[in-house]
Structure 1
Amino acid sequence: MIESEQRRQRLGAFLKAHRIRLVPQEVGLSATGRRRTPGLRREEVAQLAGISATWYVRIEQGREVAASAATLDRIARALRLAAAERAHLFTLADRHDPAAGTAGGGEDRLASLSASVKAMTAPAYILDRRWNMRGWNAQAKHLFGAWLARASPNLLRFVFLDGSARRFIVGWEDRARRLVAECRAELARQHDDPETLALIAELRSGSPDFAIWWDEQNVLDPEGGERRFLHPKDGPLAYEQVNFLPAAAPGFRVVLLLPRPV
């Protein structure tokens, strides 16, 4: 309870600090009338965000208000928050940013990240928060050829809904079971994201194994380690998986597979 109250107070202080930094003319508002304090008024932020002034005031005062991700998105835009500032806002509010790692957010950062991945000599690829493959290099394309040839490849759909994955991934059951636990950990960070919820529902419906393991309530953070595959052309392959969370591209994860002796 104390931690939640402290988080709300930090959130309110953060919003106030950025509100008073803005000049009315910067956001298309008239500066007429006497202003006793610098920056925007709370009512003006609410107007720009398209939300109730009373609601915004309660958030800034650190009151016990559950601001939705959509509301925070509108506030972030109203306050002209930069990417790092926006990410901090959602962290303080304990909400998942709907724009993080999606087509609508961070495409410039994704392009830069993709160029770095393509320059790597070992198989490497980029995952977003919903385990969609957002970029890969030639080595990864060779390794996962059939999967990456599909439109909008998704790691979870491949593992649980594609029968070829059981033959391709050595030790499929252990790896798949761990992925379910990682899913649950990630879902806790984006519990209000409808697309993620729809993906979980699809996997539960299409894979009895996923449904059973999901109900076990196990939670694990993503980690690296040995990965073995039975490639249709190259035969048995072994790698050491290393995960990176780029600070400049929140919402994305880079996975690098370093070749190891079989």
Structure 2
Amino acid sequence: DHRRELAEFLRSRRETTRPEQVGLPSGRGRRTPGLRREEVAMLAGVSLTWYTWLEQGRRINASNDVLLAIGRALRLDDAGLEHLLSLTEPGNATIAAPAEAPSALVRLLDALMPAPAYVLGPIWEFVGWNTAQARLYPRIIELVAPRRNLMWVLFADPATRELIVDWDIHARQALAEFRSATSAVRHDPAMVELVELLCDESVEFADWWREHDVSGFETRLRRFRHPAAGELTFEYQQLTPAEWPSLRIVAQLPVPGDDSAERLAVRHYLV
């Protein structure tokens, strides 16, 4: 029920928004974490009863303008506002996407060598990767659906926690980006199966999924502890191919003056 999802998202954002963030005194004796419902209603210019019904998942109609006013009152960023509006839709959109990376993208992945790179589908399943990515994470070759998925690799494969430096920071950010990127297909059977699998196999995923954090993609540095190549540093970047907008290309680019890509290419065979 998308109304329940909208209610849960609003409640989670209200409870994590501090009064001082919106220009209100924090005061003492607050029994509610974050903002009170009446404070959100006041800031958004809606009635308390109407906002309460919205948080309760009642069958009421809310225009985009009103929802955006509520989102701004909760200090949502662009990704948060977009996600808020998406929750008014059923979330069972059908997105056509190839099961394997198109040949043009395979050539692009090869052209990015020696930088590790891969292609993700609509629910972040791996549909292609280059040799450097297989050197960085060799198990990608043997995984099958639904576990051949970036979220499963991040959260359910213990080896990944050893591979990625500051795993918890990167996993939280990736999860927020994943939720934002997959909102339109959140009720797709494959998506539902994936989320259930991850909740069963990862305590952190189950706990953090309930927090409803969302985020747009952010370019960042990611460090790895590779068993043969040592500590590696790459710039994590993401691209959307114009011809296949349901796919995304993730490239882990060399940092100027750093030899991580070369060391991975030379020393991977020692694993």
TM-score range, shorter chain: 0.5 to 0.7
1:74 aligned partner: none
Letter in 1 for 2:228: K
Root-mean-square deviation over aligned CA pairs: 2.3
Would you say the 8 A contact 1:126–1:134 is kept in 2?
A: yes
Q: TM-score, normalised by structure 1?
A: 0.58
* Counterpart Cα distance in 1 of 2:95 and 2:185: 11
**Matching of residue 139 in structure 1 with residue 135 in structure 2:** no
- Aligned AA for 1:116? L
The answer to whether the 8 Å contact 2:93/2:184 transfers is no
2:166 to 165, 171, 190: 171
SS at match of 1:150: coil
Which residue is 1:101 aligned to? 97
Do structure 1's residue 238 and structure 2's residue 206 form an aligned pair?
Answer: no
Of 133, 144, 153, which residue of structure 2 is paired with 1:158? Answer: 153
Structure 1 residue runs of 4 or more that deviate by more than 3 Å after TM superposition: 93-97
Aligned to 1:112: 104
CA contact (8 A) 1:119 1:137 kept: no
Q: How does 1:59-138 map to 2 (within 5 A)?
A: 97-103=93-99, 110-121=102-113, 122-138=115-131
Aligned counterpart for 2:218 among listed residues 223, 239, 246: 223
The secondary structure found in structure 1 opposite 2:207 is helix
**Cα pair 1:100 1:250 within 8 Å, conserved:** no
Read off the aligned partner of 1:130 and give its amino acid letter. I
CA distance in 2, matches of 1:233, 1:154: 24
Amino acid corresponding to residue 165 of structure 1 in structure 2: T
Kindly provide the amino acid, as one letter, of the partner of residue 156 in structure 1: M
Q: What is the letter of the counterpart of residue 185 of structure 1?
A: S
Kindly state the Cα deviation for residue 147 of structure 1 after the two structures are TM-superposed: 3.2
Change in 2 beyond 3 A, CA 1:198/1:150:
closer
Question: What is the alpha-carbon distance in structure 2 between the residues aligned to residue 187 and residue 230 of structure 1?
Answer: 29
Identity %: 33
Tell me the TM-score normalized by structure 2: 0.56
Structure 1 residue 110: Cα displacement: 2.0
Q: Is the 8 A contact 1:169 1:229 kept in 2?
A: yes
Alignment gaps of 5+ in structure 2: 1-60, 62-88, 261-271
Distance 2:234 2:244 in 1: 25
Kindly indicate whether residue 170 of structure 2 is the aligned counterpart of residue 214 of structure 1. no
CA change 1:128–1:238 in 2 (3 A) is same
Could you report, residue by residue, the CA deviation over 1:240-261 in whole angstroms, capped at 9, with x for unpaired residues?
0111001111210001111223
Q: CA deviation at 1:95?
A: 6.4
2:252 corresponds to 1:257: yes
State the match for 1:187 in structure 2: 182
How many residues get paired? 167
- 1:56 maps to which residue? none
SS in 2 for 1:141: helix
Question: How far is 1:94 from its partner?
Answer: 8.7
Shift of 1:223: 2.4
Q: Distance in 1 between matches of 2:97 and 2:207?
A: 29
The one-letter code sitting in structure 1 at the alignment partner of 2:139 is: A
Change (3 A) 1:161 1:94: closer
Contiguous gaps of at least 5 residues in structure 1: 1-63, 65-92
CA contact (8 A) 2:123 2:191 kept: yes
